[in-house]
Structure 1
Amino acid sequence: MPAIIDTDPGIDDAIAILYALRHPGLEIAAMTTVAGNIGLSVTTANAGRIAALAGMPTPVHPGAKAPLGRAPRPELGIHGNDGLGGVAFPDAARAPEAEDAVAYLARTLTAAPEKTIDLLCLAPLTNIANLVTQHPGAAARIRRVIAMGGAVDEPGNMGRAEFNLAHDPEAAAIVLHAGLDLTLIPLDATRRFRADAAYLETLRATAKAPAEASAALIDAYFVQTEHQAKGSESRPLHDPCVPLCALHPELFTIETRHLRVDHDGALIEGPHPISVAMGVDADGLRARLAEGLAC
């Protein structure tokens, strides 16, 4: 299944990328990066470092440094200054590519047979919006887009909205309103997918570097404050839902909702039919994630 990952790593991005790069059911042609959880230089470096740990020489194409007409709002409190919760990763095995993300996407989609490449989107949708507006013919050749973002019936995590859509609402509106074959995985689904301490031991017991690194990342993803011990479960594993949905759609409850993106990134009732994952088989997802990370 040929695919390109658009990402802003990010703890949960890193887990998703390790799973996708190692899984034999996915062929990741490249990663494109965007400013989101942290600035572009760090997200780009992190993508290369994650690929190095996975043992995959995946090209990384830097993209947008900021949202469309807005200032960046990084999420350092969750992901840390390095974006990876302080977990050690090797240096990248190859430098970032000179060709920027949108140029790469346009060239690759135009050269490939139509409707053969998926976009797996783990980040604010700035790169994809620029592709849609600057190269609409290339964007029309995408097989499907699977994107983590939004909150439908659930409250958001940035006011009314979810981070990826709230970071760049204008980009989100362009992409979600473009009529692409798109599946959105919102907080309604991802908040059901978490890990506990026993699951971390399951990952560590594989003795595989991607699984061990993911255990360390999830451990950094447990809620903890200065005066409160770690909770019994991690924060939601949002981004791994994207490659898991690409490979195991049967583990997601998909509904068609008629929505639009509001000025702050909130999803409200609107004219655009969008396929939305409103539920998950969390036990099934945990099992499939562990299997993939052990490949």
Structure 2
Amino acid sequence: MPMKRRVIIDTDPGLDDALAILFALGSARFDVLGVTTVAGNIGIERTTRNAGGLLAVMGRSDIPVIRGSDIPLTRELQDIVAIIHGSDGLRGITLPEPLNLPLEDASGWIAKTLAAAEPGSVDILALGPLTNIARVITEHPEALKGIGQIIAMGGTLNEPGNSGPRSEFNFASDPEAVSVVIGCAAHLKVVLVPLDVTRKVRAQLDFVNGLPETAHGNLAREVLQAYMLDGRQSRALHDPCVMLMALEPGLFRLETIRLDVDLGIEPDAGSLLVDERGTPVAVAMGVDTEGALALLRSGFV
């Protein structure tokens, strides 16, 4: 067996976040050091509770949940995705009570964990707005040596946006945080997984129905069925792509693109801008869809 990847999952669960977390906990290829939460798909109290409930499903009382930022760095919190994720973030799916009370101060906890780690040994898997990660970068620069890579789901280059015409929800939620994270790509490995790729990795009904009859496989099926309640025959698996990238980057075609971020006003705040004066960033622009789905399925056995 290859060495487990030591990771911190930063998340705002959310249906596709839930699927990504269940995969990571069930795949046996991750050493999850902690789950930090951020307001995004829903407010911070609910995202934190959902994260704790997902860990409870897997019996993982050893993994702490740490409550993070409840608002973006400088803007007001958006509240536009309840139509997709429901007012509880999971469209009414009932999770068990968290096994432990959450800790506080996600960015401080991340910094402390990174500072104690071997250089380059911890990956940050970012599934939501990048507020917590930006706070680590700006407030605790001495801890960044512990980061192996930051893999973030967000943005779009050639695909239409899902927040504004050119903006994706995670990045639109806190454009200033995106700017901080992309800016650090000059000296840290930052990998972006945008809508250009995640919309190609889709759960069809046969994938949903074929998930194994395990505890987390059954919950993953319930999550995907809830994701399709509006009559869709498939759903893009946005956040699980981050986990797949961490395990098998060869499934993706990476390009180095010089990027900046639109820090203007809505509707396109947070949009990625290709700019020769921007920071070179690794961006996933292609994917082996069948290989990605096979790897995802393997995490629910």
Q: Note whether the superposition's TM-score is higher than 0.5.
A: yes
Q: Matched residue of 1:161: which SS?
A: coil
Residue-by-residue CA offset, 1:160-193 (whole Å, 9 max, x unaligned): 2100000000011011111220110000000001
Partner of 1:278: 285
Q: Matched residue of 2:203: which SS?
A: coil
Give the Cα–Cα distance (whole angstroms) in 2 for the partners of residues 131 and 138 of structure 1. 8
Give the Cα–Cα distance (whole angstroms) in 2 for the partners of residues 39 and 249 of structure 1. 32
Partner of 1:227: none
- Which of the numbers 55, 61, 86 marks the counterpart of 1:51? 55
Give the Cα–Cα distance (whole angstroms) in 1 for the partners of residues 15 and 234 of structure 2. 15
Partner of 1:188: 196
The alignment status of 1:157 with 2:165, answered yes or no, reads no
Amino acid at match of 2:96: P
Partner of 2:266: none
Partner of 1:289: 296
Give the Cα–Cα distance (whole angstroms) in 2 for the partners of residues 4 and 232 of structure 1. 32
Alignment root-mean-square deviation, CA: 1.1
Contact 2:8 2:124 in 1 (8 A): yes
The alignment status of 1:42 with 2:26, answered yes or no, reads no
- Which of the numbers 205, 213, 217 marks the counterpart of 1:211? 217
Give identity over the alignment, percent: 46
Query: How far off its partner does 1:154 sit?
Result: 1.3
Give the TM-score, by structure 2 length: 0.92
Amino acid at match of 1:92: P
The alignment status of 1:202 with 2:206, answered yes or no, reads no
Runs of 4+ in structure 1 displaced over 2 angstroms? Answer: none
Q: Matched residue of 2:196: which SS?
A: helix
Number of equivalenced pairs? 285
1:101-120 to 2 correspondences below 5 Å: 101-120=106-125
Partner of 1:6: 10
Comparing 124-133 and 212-221, the one that deviates more: 212-221
Partner of 1:77: 83
Contact 2:259 2:280 in 1 (8 A): yes
Residue-by-residue CA offset, 1:31-89 (whole Å, 9 max, x unaligned): 11000000000000000000111222220010101001111113111000110121221
Give the Cα–Cα distance (whole angstroms) in 2 for the partners of residues 154 and 3 of structure 1. 29
Partner of 1:178: 184
